[in-house]
Structure 1
């Protein structure tokens, strides 16, 4: 190819009828790497009018924003990390402003994100004012009375002790543990003194009967029943 071109340019002074010119022309035409039949390129389809209009509109609207970004960027230091930090702060400020604007439209008041008021919490139930449900408490007493009616006062008092432990667990959820004993609960400072004393009376009778081997009678049962009836009332947990 290079030889053909060199031969062709070397014949600048040759005429059209010169054999050298004809030979060079024939060699050039016979070279397949040279394209003589050029095809016209089909121009790309033009964009729809509405798309062009939309593009011009975006260009017009965003041009001031682009100028503002360029102006802000010109005020920043040249350090890349400093630019990243500053742009992050600007983006966070814009996000906070958008959030405040949305809240303004929704609630009618400007509020900063960190000052958002939490909904008022429902008043927590006072554990000291809790009283056992009437039906379960009556059922427990009926079961204990059934043991006492058969003369099994030890089991009847133990029944009240188990119910008392459930009441303590309801009022002081973190106090009762699987390894807790009645003595541990009787000495727990988390239980008010009045309720602790009543519970201690019931626990002492259980220790005496079930663990000490000493019998309890109807008088002891009546004392334990009266102690539990007072222990279950809210006033016993206010002292």
Structure 2
């Protein structure tokens, strides 16, 4: 019995081996061998050249390193404090270098503001309209027209200067106005107030004074420009 059992086991093992070889040798049911794709070798990126700011901090760190040895363990904190002070000093020096340029631009802008005069066409048109009223003997209306149109010119050119409730006296004392404009408003406003509140009609002399004040202010640069244009 024992021998028979051993022969049966041997036969089963042989049959299993033959079946495995048959299956393994059948190409129809085998998978294709897996091809391994080679992984390209990764080239490490070239080291980036430090920028000027990094080089500055490196130089500053090397410069202050002897001091760091004196502070010992607290040096990292002290280092950043000193770097901050150095940067602040650098910005201050830069500001001092640019300060004359900044002051010049501010001063130039202020001078442009002070040189405001009415537009040439507006000034000439206003004088023409006022002259027609004066030729008819309507000196009060002509003088009042000068004042009213002048306020409108300023309000259109510099809205921040004129409030809706601004009076002629307030405009005459406005610091933002050029001195010539303030003098002009003083002369014209004085005569308009006399006409309105003193109930005294204006005469030819009043009109001529108001007109001369406006023309001297509004046309002084226009005249010089006109002469230059003719010379050209």
* TM-score, scaled relative to structure 2: 0.49
Relative to its length, the structure with more helix (as a share) is 2
* TM-score, scaled relative to structure 1: 0.48
